[in-house]
Homo-oligomer: A and B are copies of this chain.
């Protein structure tokens, strides 16, 4: 049996990525109830909002789930207190040093998965005692690494470096891509963009439509030396790219970026003036569906693809 499934007590080796403004209890419970690891993205939540989502999650789902916790979040202590209080079984930490918190989580019986974008940080996270690692490639939406290493190159490299379970992220929205990632050495995959365009995602309907319409080349990684982030092209992303090219100060950029922009874009559906975080693979997402149907589709394609390798002419030579 797949060791990721065994360790985290889920049926299918898939994590629904914790995403700001998109993954509240509705999406997380739909995913966990469908047999994958559902995740509440706490990065866009005040402590009282996270509390509400955790309470609803507990009411609607008795399967394992996780909270995604950016370790640089200003009220991280309040979030951690809530995670402990609600006995959240798994934390997915990102954007920060896992050495600081991992042992506290482990002492509370909480399993820890840490998100990295390079071999170097994968090794550090393993050393810090995390249970598993998400390695996220350049094509992923939202915040990203400076090395710009793509999923195809990052996964075998991190696989070579670490022993613990490895979850591939970035560019995965189909069963074919899931199998590709497993071939490269992953034990599981983390899927973000595909779930933005799910019925249960809390993304604004206009943002979901924009994701469905996205074509190849419609996203861009910007702020590369500062805090790389992949955005869907719009008026706001053009302003950021322009300011960044003109060597705007960090203060000016922070001013432009402000937390409000992400909420305006993804949650309120301001498609031109808001920040729209999404991965390159949005070009291959053509339909909004319930999370359960998305999961079924991915798993079916994954299994069909394994069979096709035995029979399709294309694979035979």
Residues of A within 8 A of B (CB): 1-3, 5, 11-13, 118-120, 137-139, 146-154, 156-157, 160, 170-172, 174, 176-177, 179-185, 187, 215-217, 220-221, 279-281, 283-284, 305-306, 309-310, 313-317
Contact = CB atoms under 8 A, between A and B. Distances in A.
A217 B137 contact: no
Copy number of this protein in the oligomer? 2
A204 to B, nearest CB: 24
Given A1-B316, A119-B215, A309-B309, A177 B152 contact: yes
B2 A153 contact: no
A272 to B, nearest CB: 21
A280 B150 contact: yes
Nearest to A154: B216
Greatest chain B CB density within 10 A among A138, A153, A176, A283 is at A153
A174 to B, nearest CB: 7
Given A2-B316, A119-B215, A313-B3, A148 B220 contact: yes
Given A13-B317, A118-B216, A153-B216, 9 more contacts: A2-B313, A2-B315, A137-B152, A147-B217, A150-B171, A153-B279, A153-B280, A156-B284, A306-B310
A2 B314 contact: yes
Contacts of A215: 119
Contact of A317 (B12, B217, B220, B309): B12
Nearest to A230: B148
5 contacts: A2-B314, A119-B217, A152-B152, A153-B279, A176-B185
Contact of A313 (B1, B179, B180): B1
Contact of A221 (B148, B160, B172): B148
Nearest to A301: B183
Given A180-B180, A306-B309, A315-B306, A150 B152 contact: yes
